[in-house]
Structure 1
Amino acid sequence: MAVKIILAKIADIDLVTSILNRVTLDLLEMGIRQWRYPWQPASVKKEIGLHNVYLVKVGEEVVGTFFLGTQQQIESLGVTRKALYLSRIAVLPDYQGMSFGTTILRFCEEAGVIAGLSVYLDCWSGNEKLKTFYQQQNCHYLGDFSEADYQISGFQLNLKDG
């Protein structure tokens, strides 16, 4: 199964929004409050315009998406230096458990190596399954941090700069 990761284009706004909405509804049904529903196409368009959105393809079928962008700092995780921030990893329910998450993490880790930057990511602190997955993928647990009305667990994917 050949997996390809490509940069999303403006024409992919509806596709990315649809994947995010479908995965969000699935998470909410499981009691996982990872994201709010529904996703707004305008926010997706903005991120695509910044070249921060990627598609995960198997053949010609898009099975997931994620956002990876450069940040000068990541306040929510206490990161005060330039870094890459991986967010909104969304793999369609029918394709979960097929190592796409691992493929995404390895892609982002390599992007960090190329850029000479560490990669940070987070999840809702109540998502024990995802927290365990990140730790199994050698992500360094940074701790839990307060957001507006919930807690997030922060992770560092690689230890390039500390």
Structure 2
Amino acid sequence: MEMLKNAAMWMQENSINQWQYLLNGGDDKEILNSITLNETFIVMNDEELIATFTLSARQSDWDKHIFGEDPEGDSVYLHRLALKPVHIGKGLGKEILEWIKENISTDKTYLKLDCVADNSKLNKFYLVSGFHYVGETDQHSKYQKKLFA
């Protein structure tokens, strides 16, 4: 939780429009629930926490709002991929996305995520990481990638 709030603070300080709602406790309950359900992962470098992300095979209310209902249940949703700022731009984010694709055990077809549409660097990151842009809802870009090609 602290890492996510620190990442949100760093983004705010750097005029990046992403996750400002976390600074006021937005998603605290969902974040804790994801941890309890073992959907949240941490990335360590020795004893240092350097990244975190959440993967869920169940649609949150936000996922339903952004992507619509998923009656086939064919997707895994990626939320809150956060790196310590010192690691941004060094390939760790791409390594995490590759690790997800290579290591999660699921019968789902797609990995889906969203981000603020006007966050151009993050949108570009997802495109160069092999995700396909599938539209926009409420100023959030939607992306998906086949898990098994």
Q: Fold match, TM over 0.5? A: yes
| Identity fraction in percent | 29
1:116 to 102, 107, 111: 107
1:104 and 2:96 correspond:
yes
Structure 1 stretch displaced more, 22-31 or 136-145: 22-31
Q: What are the equivalent positions in structure 2 for 1:60-75 lying under 5 Å apart?
A: 60-72=47-59, 74-75=63-64
CA contact (8 A) 1:32 1:126 kept: no
Where 1:56 maps in the other structure, the secondary structure is strand
Structure 1 alignment gaps of length 5 or more:
1-16
1:136 to 125, 128, 131: 128
Count of matched residue pairs: 140
- Taking only aligned residues, the RMSD between alpha carbons, in angstroms, comes to 2.1
Q: TM-score, normalised by structure 1?
A: 0.77
1:33 and 2:21 correspond:
no
Residue number in structure 2 paired with 1:19: 3
Structure 2 alignment gaps of length 5 or more:
none
Where 2:118 maps in the other structure, the secondary structure is coil
Q: TM-score, normalised by structure 2?
A: 0.83
Where 1:47 maps in the other structure, the secondary structure is helix
Q: CA 1:56 to 1:38, structure 2 compared with 1: closer, same or farther past 3 Å?
A: farther
CA contact (8 A) 1:52 1:69 kept: yes
Where 1:122 maps in the other structure, the secondary structure is strand
